[in-house]
Amino acid sequence: MKHPMAAAASLALVLAPLAGGALATGTAGAAAAPHVVETMRLVTGHMDGKAGWPRILNSSWTVKKGESVTVRIISFDDGTAPLVGNYMKYDQVMGTTTGKELVAGKPVKTVSDINVAHTFTLPTLGFNMPIPVAPTGKSIVVTATFVPHKVGTFVWHCYAPCGSGANGMGGAMSTMTWMTGKIRVVA
């Protein structure tokens, strides 16, 4: 805005490819890119009225390809659901612009399996946020930022066995809009 219009326009043309490159390596430029925040609340069966059925509210949203998306999850769940088998890798933060997520403001790369309550995982986009157990009677806020580079409708899952049935994968875990949902990325 400080520059004459023509100069600003040509500057933008020159900087655009650089900004894209900077975003891809996660080093700089994110502040200048479109940026949205998607806030979700993760409630327990006691809170949503269905015992044993935790739920992520605002489970489906739409963002634009190439924009910076901060996922903010406010979890009230004080129960753990340690990861097992092939899902144990989801104790790692994946696909974020910094390689980390913020847990109560603290940057971390991983959450110990024993402390995992849920995950928010978009496997096709390579994005994963492990959600640690919340202190009883309180909430914990977990945030992470990613940039979707593919257009489409992508299903997210929780991969912690927080549902019902012998393996914890039933009930909320296998019901759309509870522990799984759809994220749309548009051009």
Here's the x/- map for Cu ion, 137-176, by CB under 5 A: it reads as ---------------------x-x-x--------------
* Contact between 179 and Cu ion per CB under 5 A: yes
Please, what is the minimum distance in Å from the beta carbon of residue 63 to Cu ion?
Answer: 22
Q: Is 43 in the site for Cu ion (CB under 5 A)?
A: no
Residues 6+ apart with CB under 8 A from 106: none
Q: Does 55 bind Cu ion (CB under 5 A)?
A: no
The per-residue b/e assignment along 160-177, b for 16 or more CB within 10 angstroms, e otherwise, is bbbbbeeebbebbbeeee
- In whole angstroms, the minimum distance from the beta carbon of 53 to Cu ion comes to 10
Q: Which residues contact 55 (CB under 8 A, 6 or more apart)?
A: 42, 43, 48, 172, 177, 178, 179
Pairing of strands 101-103, 140-146: antiparallel
User: Does 118 help bind Cu ion (rule: CB under 5 A)?
Assistant: yes
Which span sits near Cu ion by CB under 5 A: 6-14, 24-32, 86-94, 114-122?
114-122
Least distance in angstroms from the C-beta of 21 to Cu ion = 36
Q: How many residues at the interface with Cu ion, by CB under 5 A?
A: 5
Write the CB contacts of 21 (distance below 8 Å, at least 6 apart in sequence).
Answer: none
The strand order across the sheet containing 140-146 reads 55-57, 35-43, 68-75, 140-146, 101-103, 106-108
Q: Is 116 in the site for Cu ion (CB under 5 A)?
A: no
Binding mask 63-102 vs Cu ion (x if CB under 5 A, - otherwise)? ----------------------------------------
Sites of contact with Cu ion (CB under 5 A): 118, 158, 160, 162, 179
